[in-house]
Structure 1
Amino acid sequence: MKIHPLITTTEALADLCERLAKADFVTVDTEFMRENTYWPELCLVQIADDKEAAAIDPLAPGLDMSPLLDLLVDNEDVLKVFHAGGQDVEIIYNLTGKTPHPIFDTQIAMMAVSQSEQIGYSNLVESWLGLSIDKGARFTDWSRRPLTERQIEYAIGDVTHLSKIFPKLLKRLIKTGRGEWLDIEMEKLADPENYRTDMDTVWQKIRAPSRNPAVLGRLKSLAAWREREAMDKNIPKGRIMRDETLADIASHPPREQHDLAKVRGLSAGWKDNDIGRRLMQTLADSKPLTDAEMPPKAPRGAPLGKEGALVADLLKLLLKIRSREIDIAARLLARTDDLELLAAGQRRNLPILEGWRFEQFGRDALELVEGKLAFAVVNGKLKMAHIDDIGGSSEEPEVVVHVDE
């Protein structure tokens, strides 16, 4: 594979992208810094196909990134391959308002061919190529220039290794017939809504102090205000105010701005500075949540109770057994929330009761909660069987556990 010198000019980047536009796939990775900023600062982009690879310096003076961004978001003929690509996709979305498409994530794909929940890149390379990666350059300051040869070599390795692994992984997926299982997962990763900041919903990520509509209305307004302040200043939102402080102010709003000096987590300067005035105005403008905006009383479904919790535990055991049997990550088959909803009696809008998940797991899960499936310990081994089958078996089960409705 040909490795190009660090690309720092628009001409060199355009030439590279023109060639890569003819490839079936490209592997992509980024290096960025976000410890001290709201927006991640893109410091390096690495890209490769099966013939060539290069690192691109987005901080190079005068470099126009358009050829690369056009390739990633507008060229539908080239598959873009990432590993654990959520943050990489977020950066591209921030730059373009679009996400790469079509897309393939090797971390997600590994869940379909093994029981690995979230395999790291180093382990991926070691398992498929037998190589150990030098992690020494991983936590360096990617924004500092000039970049060292060691940094560039480390960075390019991420895409050159991936360009060798992807075809092998694809062959295994085709052989197992599980490629179609991943289509929905990849589309979720590429959904722009995952990366858009919705000011009306950011408050939902904060632990709600109560279910009082007025309190939650203040929390909603404060959360959106903090997000805008952090965006405008390009600093992490926690630097504006911590979640705990935000929730405390929503529950116990100060009467006057000078009372902000008494709030734990705020400095004395808030009592008369501009940001304090904006906070007080936000509180004054906030409105109680409407009935339609109020969060559901039981976001995880109906309360399970003791018996329901036991059923959920049996479903989790079934999930472990099935994921081991078909060699797939349990997390790809089902989420804990969905198992609890099924145990609580919900039967609609559950992914485990649709498509391939139903065929591989959901049907048995449903039969378990309906009392048609049981766990049997036979000769010291845990087995699953239908109740009628256990009764007619020549082997006497030592223990049988099933659910009666």
Structure 2
Amino acid sequence: MKIHPLITDSKAVAEICERFSTADFVCVDTEFMRENTYWPILCLVQISDGKEAAAIDPLAEGIDLTPLLDLMTDNEDVLKIFHAGGQDVEIIVNLTGKTPHPIFDTQIAMMAISQSEQIGYANLVDAWLGITVDKGARFTDWSRRPLTDRQIEYAIGDVTYLAEIFPKMLDKLVETGRGGWLDIEMEKLATVSNYQTDLETIWKRVRAPSRNAQVLGRLKALAAWRETEAQHKDIPRGRIMRDETLADIAGNPPKQQGDLAKVRGLSSAWKQNDIGQRMMKVIADAEPLPSDEMPVKNKRGAPLGKEGALVADLLKLLLKIRSREIDIASRLLTKADELEALAAGLRDLPILTTWRFDVFGKDALELVEGRMAFAVEKGRLKMTRIEGEPEPTKDAKPEEVGEPAAE
């Protein structure tokens, strides 16, 4: 594979992107800094089509990244490959308002062909190529110039190895017939809203101090205000105030600005500065959280009950068994809250649709409805199908598993 010197001029960017525009795929990675800023600072872009590879310096004076960004977002003929690419994609969305498309994430793909939940890049390279990645340059300051040869070599390795791994991974997906399973997952990665902050829902990331509508209304208003302040100042939201302080103020709002000096986590300057004044207005204007936005204990809204909780535990055991049997990461199949919803009687669930129903949802439903049971065979736990109609359990009450009692 041809490795180019660090690209620092617009002409070289245009030339290499022109060649990549006819490739079947390009592997992409970025290095960025965001410790002291709200918006990530793009410091390096690495790209390879398996035949050549290069690192592009976005901080080079006068460099035009338009051909690169166009390749990422407008060329539908080239597959863009990332590993755990959420933050890389976020940067592209910030720059263009669009996501790379079509897109493929090798971390998610590994979940379809192994029980690896969130395999790191170094472990991925070791598993597929038997190569130990040098992590020495991982936590360096990518914004400092000049970059060292070691930094550039480390960064380019992230895409050259990926370009070797992807064809092997693709063969494995074809061999197992699981490539189609990933279509929906990869399309989710290309949804722009996944990478944009929604001021209406940002409060849900903060641990709620109570279930009181007035408190949660203040929390929602304060969280949105903090986010806009952080964006405007281009500093991490925690530099405005930490989540704990935000929740404390929502639950115990100060009566006047001078009281802010007594709030743990705020400097005494808040009692008289402009930001303190702005926050006091937000608190004063906050309205109770509407009833349709109030959180519920089971986020899918279904009552679980004691018996339902036991059924949910059995479903989680089934998930472990099935993940082992077919060699797939359980997280790709479903999550705990969905199993609890199934146990509680809900049926409009992703687990009961598409390929998930065929490989797991069908058996999960039969377990809930009494047509499947656990058995031990030669020391191994397995599932067995029950013939005929299951006998009703005398002690179980319908309402305990989330089903309505018969009239």
In the alignment, what sits opposite 2:380?
381
Quote the Cα distance in structure 1 between the aligned partners of 2:313 and 2:253.
Answer: 42
Q: Secondary structure at the match of 1:54?
A: strand
C-alpha displacement of 1:297: 5.2
C-alpha displacement of 1:305: 2.6
Cα deviation code 1:94-127 (max 9, x no counterpart): 1111100000000000111111111111111111
Q: Secondary structure at the match of 1:292?
A: helix
Contact in 1 for aligned 2:298/2:337 (Cα 8 Å): no
C-alpha displacement of 1:294: 2.7
Q: Secondary structure at the match of 2:155?
A: helix
Matched ranges for 1:72-83 at <5 A: 72-83=72-83
Identify which range, 327-336 or 293-302, moves more after superposition: 293-302
In the alignment, what sits opposite 1:132?
132
Contact in 1 for aligned 2:27/2:47 (Cα 8 Å): yes
Matched ranges for 1:227-266 at <5 A: 227-266=227-266
Matched ranges for 1:210-225 at <5 A: 210-225=210-225
Matched ranges for 1:2-401 at <5 A: 2-296=2-296, 298-348=298-348, 350-388=349-387
C-alpha displacement of 1:72: 0.2
Q: Secondary structure at the match of 1:29?
A: strand
C-alpha displacement of 1:404: 11
TM-score, length-normalised on structure 1?
0.94
Identify which range, 378-387 or 291-300, moves more after superposition: 291-300
Contact in 1 for aligned 2:29/2:82 (Cα 8 Å): yes
Quote the Cα distance in structure 1 between the aligned partners of 2:49 and 2:330.
Answer: 32
Cα deviation code 1:179-215 (max 9, x no counterpart): 0100000011111010111111111111112222222
Identify which range, 207-216 or 189-198, moves more after superposition: 207-216
Contact in 1 for aligned 2:30/2:42 (Cα 8 Å): yes
C-alpha displacement of 1:76: 0.7
Q: Secondary structure at the match of 1:374?
A: strand
In the alignment, what sits opposite 2:405?
none
Quote the Cα distance in structure 1 between the aligned partners of 2:22 and 2:386.
Answer: 57
Cα deviation code 1:58-109 (max 9, x no counterpart): 0000011111001001111100000000110011111111100000000000
C-alpha displacement of 1:365: 0.3
Contact in 1 for aligned 2:318/2:364 (Cα 8 Å): yes
C-alpha displacement of 1:300: 4.4
Q: Secondary structure at the match of 1:37?
A: coil
Quote the Cα distance in structure 2 between the aligned partners of 1:200 and 1:318.
Answer: 37
Contact in 2 for aligned 1:369/1:404 (Cα 8 Å): no
C-alpha displacement of 1:34: 1.0
Contact in 2 for aligned 1:20/1:49 (Cα 8 Å): yes
Letter in 2 for 1:209: P
Q: Secondary structure at the match of 1:385?
A: strand
Gaps of at least 5 residues in structure 1 are 392-402
Quote the Cα distance in structure 2 between the aligned partners of 1:139 and 1:297.
Answer: 39
Cα deviation code 1:118-156 (max 9, x no counterpart): 111111111111111111011111111100000000000
TM-score, length-normalised on structure 2?
0.94
Letter in 1 for 2:166: F
Contact in 1 for aligned 2:372/2:384 (Cα 8 Å): yes
Contact in 2 for aligned 1:10/1:65 (Cα 8 Å): yes
Identify which range, 301-310 or 320-329, moves more after superposition: 301-310
Contact in 1 for aligned 2:100/2:190 (Cα 8 Å): yes
Quote the Cα distance in structure 2 between the aligned partners of 1:351 and 1:404.
Answer: 27
Quote the Cα distance in structure 2 between the aligned partners of 1:131 and 1:293.
Answer: 50
Distance 1:221 1:4, change over 3 A: same
Quote the Cα distance in structure 2 between the aligned partners of 1:380 and 1:215.
Answer: 53
Quote the Cα distance in structure 2 between the aligned partners of 1:273 and 1:96.
Answer: 36
Quote the Cα distance in structure 2 between the aligned partners of 1:106 and 1:298.
Answer: 32
Quote the Cα distance in structure 1 between the aligned partners of 2:373 and 2:75.
Answer: 51
Q: Over aligned residue pairs, what C-alpha RMSD do you find?
A: 1.6
C-alpha displacement of 1:42: 0.7
Quote the Cα distance in structure 1 between the aligned partners of 2:301 and 2:322.
Answer: 24
Contact in 2 for aligned 1:301/1:344 (Cα 8 Å): no
Contact in 2 for aligned 1:73/1:98 (Cα 8 Å): yes
**% identical aligned pairs:** 74
Q: Secondary structure at the match of 1:361?
A: helix
Quote the Cα distance in structure 2 between the aligned partners of 1:333 and 1:311.
Answer: 18
Contact in 2 for aligned 1:371/1:404 (Cα 8 Å): no
Q: Secondary structure at the match of 1:45?
A: strand
